[in-house]
Structure 1
């Protein structure tokens, strides 16, 4: 049995940010993640661009993670427009005379993960237990106990389940959650275009399908298409020729449900 003040299960952005927020408190933390350390240090690109508000950027700065993200990899989000099917009207969002030149920043998800890991993994008081999963967990008024797949047994005053929205730890602790499965899936890809997007994000909603165009640096956007799962499966199966000519950096980045 190894004793800690806090056990954090999950080395994604939520778990890493929480562990980082406890820096300087003197607390002893165990950070448990099933993925190997090498993947945490250099996460693969999953195609997702995360829209960060000014407050989110400030939070990452306070954690020391924002400084680890290359500014050349971020894209300013100046405005956003939401369209509804065939309606000629749009719901527009801008800075509204706040004096800001943007609503926020678009940052690749894998760079946020990499930056948070860079500032957290060697943090004093943090034991990173990577490459192993939690096989069982229980909690009571006296504290929490987590047994790992490699045989180790951890005890702490607090157990934090940050192992995704489908948290296995949450289920083991009997914490109820309602999951609404819509039968939809998404495809994400980067596309090049001739006209300037001017830093404006456009989202179009229709019955059965949606598409968002998120402005990236240069004349490039991240296209996010939502269809029924079968429709996305069919698109993902198309060969390169069916997608047309590709510019450097405009290739498909991936898809997922």
Structure 2
């Protein structure tokens, strides 16, 4: 697959602020979709354009098989994005998306494409940390219980057997991708990393988020939010302020002031 227009439009969704100064490329969590970043896109200033990845297996791509390998997913995204790097960009991945973003940064470097200005790893422990996780091997009830624990899914949605059956194949594939992922030994990227974490996230401790520091040869920052796994939604105004500060150096105004 190559980064043709048709392929690009399947993989990448943009909601607001076309032709902005800088792009924030967003990678969703397990079971998530591009539309999950709509509110964030609307809340950001007009000089930031959000590109959100639409993985196969959900929404209008629900008939396509979902990926079960983080690295393979990132490599395809790199092909899609490689010839669309006409302006500065930052990667933001939440939960599973943080791993996809990390592998995407590595893939972009390997293919000689423009590197991200920063990787923002949200709600996910660093690749160098280890946990035994087997959610993808549970029955549907067990997977649904994991969603309840993370508190990111409407409880009434999980009470509808037809809706649960519809989302389960992609969700299980996503969990398999995350839970079987292993980064290459001593894997690092050249751009800075900022890790975002909720102080009550049941799946990522503050120390596990801080461990992202070992995956960059550049600067590292850690931002801690009050909340659980889905603090991006629950603390949206705070998140917007931090992202705006992070992206400001890549804006046209900042570039002009340095000229």
Range class of TM-score, shorter chain: under 0.3
Q: Which has the higher strand share?
A: 1
Pair member with larger Rg: 1
- TM-score, normalised to structure 2, is 0.24
Higher relative contact order (CA 8 A, sep 6+): 1
